[in-house]
Amino acid sequence: MIIYAAKDYEEVSKKAATVMGALIVSKPNAVLGLATGSTPVGMYRYLVEWCKNGDLDFSQISSVNLDEYRGLSGDNDQSYRYFMNTNLFDHVNIDKAKTNVPNGLAEDADQACAEYNAIIRSMGGVDMQLLGIGGNGHIGFNEPSDVFEKETHVVDLAESTIQANARFFESMDDVPKQAFTMGIKNIMEAKKILLVATGAAKADALYKALYGPITPQVPASILQLHSDVVVVADEEALSVIREKGLL
Ligand code: PGA
């Protein structure tokens, strides 16, 4: 595992974009596993800038996203498809037909999950999977649990997540209660993992993920078993690891 320590969010964004950009340069038809959330926004901004100035070419790139809210259409401004379009896809020369986000409106969830697994396989697997980490150690929507869920599945969102999301919707009824997410096996099958973390709220989870026991109660801890992980984190997110003298 490689850990890059960065001083702040901006430096994390630039370093993480450099790591993904290097893959795009060295493998122009790479399959990118992408993530949403506040952490990757700055990284996507750099990728857009470097594409606009001609340093990166997304024309042969394809992508597969970790997760999507169940019940939201891709036009909904809270959907992860919308997030990807507005933060990255609309601003680079990627072929949108080669970008994949679970279909939040799929009626038959089991079929939708099986199809998503098949899409990942048909692409030949993910070359680099980008991950954020939740304050509770989640990756994608794989929340702390008694078991590692293997492949794409539907999760019931935690009540705290539903409450936290409520501010983005007109009424409680509109807040998604479920999501589609890749499973831990899908994530672990990526050839390379790029984990980004910023802020003190992630410090404990990052310590447990990288140095604690491997347990589904801290889903990100499974990454200790992956042979090619790059972590880009700011000093706040690394603070517990530093306190323990591990870095
Ligand atoms: P964040 O989310 O980037 O918005 O902190 C990360 C995550 O929950 O995976």
Rounded CA-CA distance 105/1 in Å is 37
Is it the case that residue 168 has pLDDT exceeding 90?
no
**Model pLDDT, residue 61:** 98
**Model pLDDT, residue 157:** 87
**Model pLDDT, residue 201:** 95
Is it the case that residue 246 has pLDDT exceeding 90?
yes
174 noted as active-site residue = no
Q: Quick one: which atom of ligand 1 is closest to the CA of 198? A: 5
Is it the case that residue 164 has pLDDT exceeding 80?
no
142 noted as active-site residue = no
Contact 165, 234 (CB under 8 A): no
- Cα 137 to ligand 1 centroid, rounded to whole Å: 10
Question: Which percentage of the chain shows pLDDT scores above 70?
Answer: 100
**Model pLDDT, residue 202:** 97
Nearest-CA neighbor of 235 among 209, 212, 206? 206
**Model pLDDT, residue 162:** 87
- What are the pLDDT digits (tens) for 23-66? 999 999 999 999 999 999 999 999 999 999 999 999 999 999 99
Q: What is the CA radius of gyration of the chain?
A: 17
Q: Higher-confidence residue: 47 or 170?
A: 47
Crossing angle, helix 80-87 and helix 41-52, to 10 degrees? 40
Nearest-CA neighbor of 1 among 192, 243, 135, 220? 192
Find the residues whose C-beta lies inside 6 A of ligand 1: 37-39, 132-134
Catalytic position from the list 68, 76, 127, 138: 138
Mean pLDDT of 79-100: 98
- Ligand 1 binding pocket mutation candidate from 39, 41, 161 (most atoms within 8 A of CB): 39
- Cα 74 to ligand 1 centroid, rounded to whole Å: 20
- Cα 169 to ligand 1 centroid, rounded to whole Å: 19
136 noted as active-site residue = yes
138 noted as active-site residue = yes
- Cα 189 to ligand 1 centroid, rounded to whole Å: 21
Crossing angle, helix 41-52 and helix 9-26, to 10 degrees? 50
- Cα 132 to ligand 1 centroid, rounded to whole Å: 5
Is it the case that residue 163 has pLDDT exceeding 90?
no
- What are the pLDDT digits (tens) for 207-235? 999 999 999 999 999 999 999 999 999 99
Pairing state between β 192-197 and 178-181: unpaired
Mean pLDDT of 237-245: 98
Catalytic position from the list 87, 100, 117, 143: 143
- Ligand 1 binding pocket mutation candidate from 12, 38, 84, 181 (most atoms within 8 A of CB): 38
